[in-house]
A and B are shown apart, each in its own frame.
Chain A
Amino acid sequence: MRKCRLTRIIISLISNSILLVLLSGCWSSRPIEDLNIIVGSSLDKDGEGKIKSTLQYVVPEALDSKSDGDNASKPYINVIGEGISLEPTGWDTTLSRQGYIFGAHQKCVVISEELAREINLRELTDLYFRDIDIRGSTLIFIAKGEATKALETSEPNVIPSLRIVEIANESLTSVIVSKTPLIKIGGLMNSGSSFLLQLLETTDKGVKFSGGAIFNGKKNKMIGSLNPQEVEGVNWITAQGKGGAVKAYTKKSDGPTWFQIESIKSKVTPHIKDDKISFDVKIESEGRIAEYWNPKLRPLFEEKNVRNIEKATEVEVTKLVENVTKKLQNEYKTDVAGFGNEVRIQYPKEWKKMSKNWDELFSKAKINYDVHITIRDYGMIGKKKK
């Protein structure tokens, strides 16, 4: 018995020590220090008609060390590669920098406006969809001017691509286009519908979100842009605003008064009568009075005055949405506010025929807006001493 137990112990010891050696090894492992972890990238047009791609790698060591003002090293490094499409640009960077490129943590792609107007977006983003590492949650942005500048900052300890993504994820105000990850535009591009992408503006101080880039669904190219107010209009139609404020006065003498948005609801109802399409859009919003500069400062404890401000806000919102509709219908002839989607859902049979020249039909459609604003409260002060 004893002997038996002893051999058992020896066998298990040997097999365990073999396992120890075998299990700790990994066939195709790569040490993390040797990986170039991409967090963001940008695409620009090169002078010679090639594509200039900037890859932003994180430098983990710099993130850890406490920064001491000026001599703190940047936590990121931008590497530039060139080529006629994206794949060769990636390999181009490996000529000047050691290590594998690792794309699983890529969070954003910034494309310059010039490139987006020239090259089909589906072709431009093909690699991102096809690549096995890159995730579907990667966000796509368009930048005015040079895109590579959007990936730079003078502030220490800030990784520019992560900052952009963070702002887009928060989307605090209603003047930002709702974020567009790869998977979302993948479906949109494949179905041929037009859409909006977030537009960035690079200033000396860094990046700023300013409006949206309009993409035509058929051509998959950028055809124009919307300014922040117009984007706000689109967000009111699609009820995507999370917060923000709207002008709540019509006369200048009523002074700056602001309605702060708490919630927006909208309902788009399409009507089809003998090949003529019209839409009824009902927008409802609740919020509060955030600022009230009105020189007369009418007491808000009185319901009548609150109603007046509601009326003024309704007028302003209607102006916003009508303004952007006019621009989309007349100037760009493109539907980026999801009207087509409503037709698809509510008139699936008719949509089959209409989807082919939807943008054209949309530009002729009559759209009626009905805005209803409710002011829930007016903050901590209500009345001036008489």
Chain B
Amino acid sequence: MNPEPIDRISTHQTVMFFVNMIFGAGVLILPRTITDKVKTPDGWITVIVSGLLITLLVFLLVMLCKQYPNETYFQFTQKIIGKWLAIPLCIFIIIYYICLSALEVRVMAETTRLFLLQGTPNWAILIPFLWIGLYIILGGINPIARLLEIIFPITVLFFLLVIFLGIGIIDIDNLRPVLGNGFKPVLNGLKTTSLSFSGFEVILFIFMFMKDKTKVSKTIMFGIGIPFVFYTITVVVVVGAFSVNGVLLQTWPVLTYIRSYDIQGLFVERFDSLLLVIWIMQIFATYIIAYYICVLGMAQVLNKKNMKPFLFGTLPFIYIISMIPKDINQTFTMADTIGNTSFYLFGIVPLILLVISYVRKKLNEKM
């Protein structure tokens, strides 16, 4: 076990970890998945409610982390529930992250093949992507953090630009009535929207690396707050442009939205390619964080200091898993499965751990 990590990341960088991990391929289909469940124009309210719930959850996770400030989730689970229960759990988490990074890579390849590089074979898109990820992780957590700092402003700027350029095709009537069918439809969509925030669990693994651990609540507010604002804007704008029934038709509603307006007199006409090129960076960020966490997990579970062998060993698996889904529907199914797993893995298990750790503490005090 590495008792004293040399690498430290600043508060600002921790926020970047949050934001970049939460943003991923999911936002491109978010308006549809929400509206599919809610069936009224109230999807954006669902986003707000689940954003608040997730913030609460993350605060609970941090309470857990604070008890073991110098260890990651992989290490302190062993202390809480013992080796025999903790190691299978850790292995499960590692597999989860391999699958997650494979999924991100696959979605990237899928959208690129559709919209940008028609005719380029999948492997030619995937392999450079995978290798560059490998290269940055070789440097440890600090280069990743610095890369995220560069990626974040660029992607955010372009995303907002592209979303707001289409403000003209939004019809407010499509968003009305607000809460017309009461609050029940909003609750129906709660699970889907909460899953869109998955990635918040990154705090379990990077809390150890934080330089100033007292500022963690501020980190959470920004780390969840930024995606929260983003998601709300996206859902409002896309549903406003398409109407509820229109959104349900679209495979990639956000991309269709960007292709649906013309800005007269502007030279660039195809903003969708622009956004995709930018958004690939965001997918890349999610991929490297997931990749890093799973390699970190392997090293810590097996008590090895050197991460390199695991790093090279995992890469082929990511490639193979990313190639398993045969078509777009299987890819979406894979995404759903991974989302549901994350709900149990990081929504419920840590809470149980929290309770157990408190009970243990109380018992220890009594003794």
B83 on the A face (CB < 8 A):
no
B270 on the A face (CB < 8 A):
yes
Q: In residues 162-191 of chain B, which contact A (Cβ within 8 Å)?
A: 169, 173-174, 176-177, 180-181
* Nearest chain B residue, comparing its CB with the CB of A189: B245
Question: B177 and A136: CB pair below 8 A?
Answer: no
Q: In residues 177-210 of chain A, which contact B (Cβ within 8 Å)?
A: 181-184, 186-188, 190-191
Question: A183 and B260: CB pair below 8 A?
Answer: yes
A137 on the B face (CB < 8 A):
yes
The count of A-to-B residue pairs whose CB atoms sit within 8 angstroms is: 70
B5 on the A face (CB < 8 A):
no
Chain B residues near A184: list those with CB within 8 A. Answer: 246
- Residue from B124, B173, B241, B245 with most neighbouring chain A CB atoms (10 Å): B245
- Residue from A136, A184, A346 with most neighbouring chain B CB atoms (10 Å): A136
Tell me the bound Cα distance from A218 to B45 in angstroms.
31
Question: B117 and A28: CB pair below 8 A?
Answer: yes
Chain A, interface size: which category?
20 to 34
Question: B180 and A135: CB pair below 8 A?
Answer: no
Tell me the bound Cα distance from A305 to B243 in angstroms.
46
B14 to chain A, nearest CB (A): 35
Chain B residues near A182: list those with CB within 8 A. Answer: 260
A181 touches which of B117, B180, B260, B270 (Cβ 8 Å): B260
Tell me the bound Cα distance from A186 to B242 in angstroms.
8
Chain A residues near B180: list those with CB within 8 A. Answer: 345, 348-349
A129 on the B face (CB < 8 A):
yes
Interface residues on chain B, number (Cβ under 8 Å):
33
Chain B residues near A346: list those with CB within 8 A. Answer: 177
B243 touches which of A28, A104, A187, A348 (Cβ 8 Å): A187
Tell me the bound Cα distance from A291 to B244 in angstroms.
45
Tell me the bound Cα distance from A183 to B247 in angstroms.
9
Question: B181 and A349: CB pair below 8 A?
Answer: yes
Tell me the bound Cα distance from A30 to B257 in angstroms.
26
With A28-B120, A137-B259, A137-B260: A132-B115 Cβ-Cβ less than 8 Å: yes
Question: A186 and B246: CB pair below 8 A?
Answer: yes
List B residues at the A interface (Cβ < 8 Å).
40, 114-115, 117-120, 124, 169, 173-174, 176-177, 180-181, 241-249, 256-257, 259-262, 264, 269-270
- Residue from A132, A169, A344, A349 with most neighbouring chain B CB atoms (10 Å): A132
A338 to chain B, nearest CB (A): 8
A131 to chain B, nearest CB (A): 11
Question: B120 and A27: CB pair below 8 A?
Answer: yes
A54 to chain B, nearest CB (A): 23
* Nearest chain B residue, comparing its CB with the CB of A338: B173
Q: In residues 153-189 of chain A, which contact B (Cβ within 8 Å)?
A: 169, 181-184, 186-188
Question: A136 and B260: CB pair below 8 A?
Answer: yes
Question: B169 and A183: CB pair below 8 A?
Answer: yes
* Nearest chain B residue, comparing its CB with the CB of A138: B260
26 A-B pairs in the complex with CB atoms less than 8 angstroms apart: A27-B117, A27-B119, A28-B120, A129-B249, A135-B260, A135-B262, A137-B261, A183-B241, A183-B242, A183-B256, A187-B244, A187-B249, A188-B243, A190-B245, A190-B248, A190-B249, A191-B245, A344-B177, A345-B173, A345-B176, A345-B177, A345-B180, A346-B177, A348-B40, A349-B181, A352-B181
A222 to chain B, nearest CB (A): 20
Chain A residues near B262: list those with CB within 8 A. Answer: 135, 137
A226 to chain B, nearest CB (A): 22
- Residue from B114, B177, B257 with most neighbouring chain A CB atoms (10 Å): B177
Chain A residues near B269: list those with CB within 8 A. Answer: 105
- Residue from B119, B120, B246, B269 with most neighbouring chain A CB atoms (10 Å): B246
Tell me the bound Cα distance from A348 to B246 in angstroms.
18
A269 on the B face (CB < 8 A):
no
Tell me the bound Cα distance from A22 to B115 in angstroms.
22
* Nearest chain B residue, comparing its CB with the CB of A30: B119
A341 on the B face (CB < 8 A):
yes
B124 touches which of A27, A169, A341, A344 (Cβ 8 Å): A27
Question: A28 and B259: CB pair below 8 A?
Answer: no
Tell me the bound Cα distance from A132 to B242 in angstroms.
17
* Nearest chain B residue, comparing its CB with the CB of A342: B173
Chain B residues near A28: list those with CB within 8 A. Answer: 117-120
Question: B245 and A187: CB pair below 8 A?
Answer: yes
Tell me the bound Cα distance from A76 to B120 in angstroms.
31
Chain B residues near A137: list those with CB within 8 A. Answer: 169, 259-262
Chain B residues near A136: list those with CB within 8 A. Answer: 256-257, 259-260
With A137-B260, A346-B177, A348-B177: A186-B249 Cβ-Cβ less than 8 Å: yes
With A137-B259, A348-B180: A341-B173 Cβ-Cβ less than 8 Å: yes
B47 to chain A, nearest CB (A): 20
Tell me the bound Cα distance from A129 to B249 in angstroms.
9
A89 to chain B, nearest CB (A): 21
* Nearest chain A residue, comparing its CB with the CB of B260: A136
B270 touches which of A27, A104, A344, A349 (Cβ 8 Å): A104
Q: Which 6 A-B pairs have the closest CB atoms?
A: A187-B246, A28-B119, A348-B180, A136-B260, A187-B243, A190-B245
Tell me the bound Cα distance from A169 to B264 in angstroms.
10
Tell me the bound Cα distance from A348 to B173 in angstroms.
13
B124 to chain A, nearest CB (A): 7
B117 to chain A, nearest CB (A): 6
B363 to chain A, nearest CB (A): 54
* Nearest chain B residue, comparing its CB with the CB of A29: B119
Chain B residues near A349: list those with CB within 8 A. Answer: 180-181
Tell me the bound Cα distance from A344 to B173 in angstroms.
10
Question: A135 and B259: CB pair below 8 A?
Answer: yes
Q: In residues 330-355 of chain A, which contact B (Cβ within 8 Å)?
A: 341, 344-346, 348-349, 352
Chain A residues near B169: list those with CB within 8 A. Answer: 137, 181, 183
* Nearest chain A residue, comparing its CB with the CB of B243: A187
* Nearest chain A residue, comparing its CB with the CB of B115: A132
A307 to chain B, nearest CB (A): 34
Chain B residues near A345: list those with CB within 8 A. Answer: 173, 176-177, 180
Chain B residues near A132: list those with CB within 8 A. Answer: 114-115
